[in-house]
Amino acid sequence: MLVSTRSTHILVAAAGRGSRMGQQMNKQFLRVGGEPIIIRCLRLCSEFLDSLEPETDRGLHVICSDNEMDTMQDTVQAYGLGSAVTQYIAGGNSRRESIFFGLQALPKSGVPDDAIIMIHDGARCLASADLFARCRDTAIHYGSACPGLPVHDTLRRAFSHAGQDPVLYETVSRELLFSMQTPQCFGFEAIMRANQVAEEAVSFGRVARDAFTDDVSVAQAAGLEVRLVEGENTNLKLTRPEDIQLAEAILAAGLLA
């Protein structure tokens, strides 16, 4: 890991409902390996921040639904991580809006403009501290970083006629195609400016509200260049019930990096 005292703050996105999980409760509170997903995620983030140089300014900020704020705080306290969380921030109606709210709240905690901001999905609880370190190092060197894995499946485009099943027709080259992961890392001032541009574009109807699928798309829309970091196969985003089963299998087999 690069020896640097650059201010480093992690924003954990945990405001989504996770409807594809098919559960009544927020998926963040479902258990993997006997603990809630969000607890495993926050412990990983906290341990990474603790590994930085002692004089490094740091913070862990959790974005959650306003109506789940008390449940989130109670859960974090129950697992002994209360002192690890700097603040809880109410999210918005979309991931992009939630991240924008989170970024707007950071200056209130004294986060400097030149800080490295690491934005991580709360549903990715099996990442390694090494991945966090490599993403941070790359962002310090180049201003941004995002982990990703090369696509191995055969890819094809499809079209459909009204009322009919889609028809496959064009094979898409998978060369230089990558599936994105988190943490996605940026300089604070740059990613805040990019989110302000995105908010304005959405507000004035220049782009659809769902046009920004992650923080890289927000950054690129504002002209920022994002560097790729090799991701991890175990850094799953737990989205569906079978993902929970896979995560349990990974833990049981001791496959974490």
Please spell the DSSP secondary structure of 175-220, one letter per residue: TT-EEE-S-EEEEHHHHHHHHHHHHHHHHTTSS-TTS--SHHHHHH
What does pTM read for this prediction? 0.94
pLDDT at 16: 78
* Pick from 225, 251, 246, 227: nearest CA to 236: 246
57 occurs within a structural domain: yes
Query: In this predicted model, which residue has the larger pLDDT, 161 or 165?
Result: 165
1 domain residue, yes or no: no
Percentage of the chain with pLDDT > 90?
86
pLDDT given at position 27 = 86
pLDDT at 31: 94
Residues 6 or more apart whose CB falls under 8 angstroms from that of 158 comprise 166, 167, 168, 169
Residue 82 sits in which domain range? 8-253
Instruction: Provide DSSP, 223-241.
Output: T----EEE--TT-----SH
Residue 197 lies in a domain: yes
90 is a domain residue: yes
Q: What is the rounded average pLDDT of the residues 87-95? A: 95
| pLDDT tens track for 27-79 | 899 999 999 999 999 999 999 999 999 999 999 999 999 999 999 999 999 99
pLDDT band with cut points at 50, 70 and 90 for residue 5: very high
What is the domain-level CATH number for residue 235?
3.90.550.10
Cβ-contact 216, 146 below 8 angstroms: yes
- Using 50, 70 and 90 to split pLDDT, how confident is the model at 144? very high
Q: How confident is the model at residue 23 (pLDDT cuts 50, 70, 90)?
A: low
Percent of the chain exceeding pLDDT 70 equals: 96
Determine the length of the chain.
Answer: 257
Report, as an integer, the average pLDDT of 84-96. Answer: 95
Given a cut of 80, whether residue 19 has pLDDT beyond it is: no
Give a yes or no: residue 140 inside a domain. Answer: yes
DSSP character at residue 32: E
Please state which of the ranges 70-74, 165-169, 229-233 shows the lowest mean pLDDT.
Answer: 165-169
Residue 162 falls inside a structural domain: yes
Number of domains into which the chain is organized: 1
Ramachandran category for residue 15: left, alpha or beta (phi over 0 → left; psi -120 to 50 → alpha): alpha
Closest by CA position to 88, among listed 12, 164, 175, 166: 12
Task: Determine contact, residues 60/43, Cβ cutoff 8 Å.
Answer: no
Whether 3 is in a domain gets the answer no
What is residue 138's predicted lDDT score, i.e. its pLDDT? 98
Per-residue confidence (pLDDT) for residue 9, from 0 to 100? 98
Q: What value does the mean pLDDT of the chain take?
A: 94
Q: Which residues of 132-145 are buried (b: 16+ CB within 10 A; e: fewer)?
A: bebbbbbbbeebbb
122 domain residue, yes or no: yes
